[in-house]
A and B are shown apart, each in its own frame.
Chain A
Amino acid sequence: MAVAANPSTWRRVVLALVAIHVAWGLARLPRMVAERRSDIRTFDELGPGLHQLASAKLAGGAALLWLREHTAPGEVVLCEGSQRGPIEFASAALAPRLLVTTAACATTAADFAGRPLARGTRDGRTGTFVLVATDDDLRVEVR
């Protein structure tokens, strides 16, 4: 092949490709800024956890938002079900609340590791809140 036989041709081809790569990268810089601006704006609107759920087109944001509004930061939120999918963002969304599995703490317990369990009333039922997770959704139950 001509390119293989001629080192200067090979060098020119490599340099041209590197130049295209760099030019392409530089041309993308404004887009990198715009993507971050839009990303940061959405994050500021939705908050941690919920932003990621929205970006990943996963359901469950409403349950996390409800818990954030109806529980105190120092409380423990019980959870059960799948550990994949939207539940992966629950810790970020609910921090500094701790998420503890119902296998480790009964819903009838008063506290866990010295922190009170999140309790209250929802849809007319009073009891301990449990975040129930499936692979693609989250819901809050009262027990």
Chain B
Amino acid sequence: MTPAAIDGVPGRCVEVVLVAFALFGMLAMGVFAAGGEVPDFAAPVAIVGAMVLQRWRRPLGVASPQFASDRWWLLGGVVVVSAATAIVAWGALATPSRTWDGAAMWDGKAALLAERLTLAQPAFRDPGILLHSRDYPLLQPVLMAALERWLGVGRALFPLVYLTHCALLFVLLRRAGAAIRWAVLASVAFGVTPMVLSPSGGGADSGYAEPLLALAVTATVGGLVGKDRWLAAVGIALLAWAKPEGGLYGAVAVALAWLRADRGVVVATAVGWTSAMALWLVVQRDLQSCGRAATPWSIPLALAGLGAAVVLSHRLVPNVRSRVVLAAAVVVVGALAAPALARLFELGGGVFSSYLAGSGRLGERLGEAPTIVVGIANWAWLRGRFGLAFVVVLLVAWRCGSDAARDPLRWLAVMLGVVALPFVLAPFADLDAHIRASMPRLLCHHVGVAWLAVGLGLAAAVPPRQTVAA
């Protein structure tokens, strides 16, 4: 196989899958916002559109040379990831979801949407009908519904997401100049991480939306690392539509880009996040009100203003230190103003309001900070659910020789705080039970980024040899 094929084929496939997810998500959310029904030709249109866009964009990054021994690394990587994908595919296709959220929350919506790809149906329109987490983002159910309608196997989404995530890590590392062996090693290490491959809640075939969200997180951070505007924008859009915490992760990505990245990446992330959130918040209002509320135009307008402010302030405040001070001030003011803003924009329903209401518990819960810190340490490092992923990443953080690895490491550092947030604000009385139930899932969102950081750290520590195989 030629070097161009080794680096080009997975890169093109990964980009087509991610862009097709985003295009179909955008079409579906747009149609839902307009109160319509997504036509069956939308899925092939999204795939063809993704292929056209992928051909149109210029190649990114320069892959490092390859060597004769790399063939064996590639072969080993392909064998392991194929075997793991086969296990995930078997687990996903054998039955409907066998775990809590998959069965209670996601499968039901996917089944309803597979029947009719519209929100104009009784389960979404009548508050009397029991529908778990009515206002949760719908990307996973609409993708499952599209696959079900188009191919008859909605749950094929899960092995596809798993395989795409493994391939994405390989592609990101190759584009960052990593040798094939390090790209393969990081990709395989991610693929066999116990939590990722486990059949329990949050695993690749569990039916949870965590794998899809984790893929979006890795794509977003990969976009920031490689200054790949498309990837960053696509990743952020998928974040916003995959799970409620995705909106917050997207905001963090915009903030990190604003602090350090060039103008193009800032514009891409700001446009990606504000437009995806605007579309989603309109759909979410529709879900919360069971189609009875008028379209909340104030939300897209406010987000457009916020996006413009982000881009403009990036230009006006060129100094990174000044940006850090300004960002800290915005976070503090934003946190204080959050309840008032939520009232102003009537973001009153669902998980967001339950967490906002939790700000009253802040003082009391801060006293439990040690429990939360121990919970993070326990699940990240001690329980073995993530293998050695977060142990190795600590070593990379301690002695990182790569500028590129700093972006994923910054992401992980910020996420330590973000992961703790739900436990500080959560409306649940039993903190230990909440940590036990949620911490592994929250950490799972970032395990791809952890392996990206490790791969980049290894690539920097071991420069490619100069001799290229014939």
**Chain A residues at the B interface, C-beta cutoff of 8 Å:** 3-4, 7, 10-11, 13-15, 17-18, 20-22, 24-26, 28-29, 32-33, 35-36, 39-40, 43-44, 48-49, 51-52, 55-56, 79, 83, 87-92, 95, 98-101, 103-105, 112-113
Distance between Cα atoms of A103 and B98 in the complex (Å): 30
Give every chain B residue within 8 A of A88 (Cβ-Cβ).
100, 104-105, 132
Verify A32–B197 contact, CB threshold 8 A: yes
| Interface membership of B83, Cβ < 8 A | yes
Verify B100–A52 contact, CB threshold 8 A: yes
Verify B193–A25 contact, CB threshold 8 A: yes
Q: List 15 A-B contacts (CB under 8 A).
A: A18-B185, A21-B189, A22-B185, A22-B192, A24-B388, A26-B80, A26-B192, A33-B87, A35-B199, A40-B91, A88-B100, A88-B104, A92-B97, A95-B108, A105-B128
Distance between Cα atoms of A95 and B36 in the complex (Å): 25
| Interface membership of B120, Cβ < 8 A | no
| Interface membership of B142, Cβ < 8 A | no
Verify B98–A55 contact, CB threshold 8 A: yes
How many whole Å from B116's CB to the nearest CB in chain A? 13
Distance between Cα atoms of A32 and B206 in the complex (Å): 12
* Contact partner, B130, options A22, A40, A100, Cβ 8 Å: A100
Closest A residue to B132 by beta carbon equals A88
Given A44-B95, A98-B122, do A28 and B192 touch, yes or no (CB 8 Å)?
Answer: yes
Verify A4–B399 contact, CB threshold 8 A: yes
Distance between Cα atoms of A98 and B205 in the complex (Å): 26
* Stretch from B220-228, B300-308, B345-353, B389-397 that touches the partner: B389-397
**Chain B residues at the A interface, C-beta cutoff of 8 Å:** 80, 83-84, 87, 90-91, 94-100, 103-105, 107-108, 111, 122-123, 126-132, 185-186, 188-189, 191-194, 197-199, 205, 387-389, 391-392, 395-396, 398-399, 401, 454, 457-458, 461-462
Verify B388–A18 contact, CB threshold 8 A: yes
Distance between Cα atoms of A105 and B122 in the complex (Å): 14
How many whole Å from B158's CB to the nearest CB in chain A? 12
Verify A52–B104 contact, CB threshold 8 A: yes
Give every chain A residue within 8 A of B198 (Cβ-Cβ).
32, 35
Verify A28–B130 contact, CB threshold 8 A: no
How many whole Å from B390's CB to the nearest CB in chain A? 10
Give every chain A residue within 8 A of B186 (Cβ-Cβ).
18
* Contact partner, A25, options B104, B194, B199, Cβ 8 Å: B194
Verify A99–B130 contact, CB threshold 8 A: yes
Verify B95–A21 contact, CB threshold 8 A: no
How many whole Å from B69's CB to the nearest CB in chain A? 15
Verify B399–A3 contact, CB threshold 8 A: yes
Distance between Cα atoms of A32 and B84 in the complex (Å): 9
Verify A32–B399 contact, CB threshold 8 A: no
Verify B100–A56 contact, CB threshold 8 A: yes
Given A14-B454, A36-B199, do A21 and B387 touch, yes or no (CB 8 Å)?
Answer: yes
Distance between Cα atoms of A121 and B127 in the complex (Å): 28
Give every chain A residue within 8 A of B193 (Cβ-Cβ).
21, 25
Distance between Cα atoms of A100 and B123 in the complex (Å): 10
Distance between Cα atoms of A15 and B122 in the complex (Å): 55
Given A35-B199, A104-B126, do A18 and B189 touch, yes or no (CB 8 Å)?
Answer: yes
Verify A36–B90 contact, CB threshold 8 A: yes
Give every chain B residue within 8 A of A55 (Cβ-Cβ).
98-99
Given A28-B192, A32-B198, A88-B104, do A11 and B91 touch, yes or no (CB 8 Å)?
Answer: no
How many whole Å from B182's CB to the nearest CB in chain A? 9
Given A4-B398, A88-B100, do A18 and B454 touch, yes or no (CB 8 Å)?
Answer: yes
Closest B residue to A43 by beta carbon equals B95
Distance between Cα atoms of A43 and B103 in the complex (Å): 12
Distance between Cα atoms of A56 and B201 in the complex (Å): 11
Give every chain B residue within 8 A of A52 (Cβ-Cβ).
98-100, 103-104
Give every chain A residue within 8 A of B389 (Cβ-Cβ).
21
Give every chain B residue within 8 A of A4 (Cβ-Cβ).
398-399
Distance between Cα atoms of A141 and B395 in the complex (Å): 59
Distance between Cα atoms of A36 and B91 in the complex (Å): 6
Distance between Cα atoms of A58 and B105 in the complex (Å): 17
Distance between Cα atoms of A92 and B95 in the complex (Å): 12
Distance between Cα atoms of A83 and B108 in the complex (Å): 16
Verify B188–A90 contact, CB threshold 8 A: no
Given A4-B398, A43-B98, A52-B98, do A21 and B392 touch, yes or no (CB 8 Å)?
Answer: yes
* Contact partner, B401, options A7, A18, A25, A39, Cβ 8 Å: A7
Give every chain A residue within 8 A of B84 (Cβ-Cβ).
29
How many whole Å from B79's CB to the nearest CB in chain A? 11
- Which residue, A29, A36, A48, A99, has most C-beta atoms of chain B within 10 A? A36
Give every chain B residue within 8 A of A90 (Cβ-Cβ).
130
Verify B128–A25 contact, CB threshold 8 A: no
Give every chain A residue within 8 A of B395 (Cβ-Cβ).
10, 13-14, 17
Verify B188–A22 contact, CB threshold 8 A: yes
Give every chain B residue within 8 A of A113 (Cβ-Cβ).
122, 126, 129
How many whole Å from B424's CB to the nearest CB in chain A? 21
Given A33-B87, A92-B108, A113-B122, do A40 and B95 touch, yes or no (CB 8 Å)?
Answer: yes
Give every chain A residue within 8 A of B188 (Cβ-Cβ).
22, 25
Nearest 5 pairs of A and B residues by beta carbon:
A104-B128, A25-B192, A99-B130, A88-B104, A21-B388
Give every chain B residue within 8 A of A32 (Cβ-Cβ).
87, 197-199
Verify A7–B461 contact, CB threshold 8 A: yes
Distance between Cα atoms of A66 and B94 in the complex (Å): 25
Give every chain B residue within 8 A of A99 (Cβ-Cβ).
129-130
How many whole Å from A94's CB to the nearest CB in chain B? 10
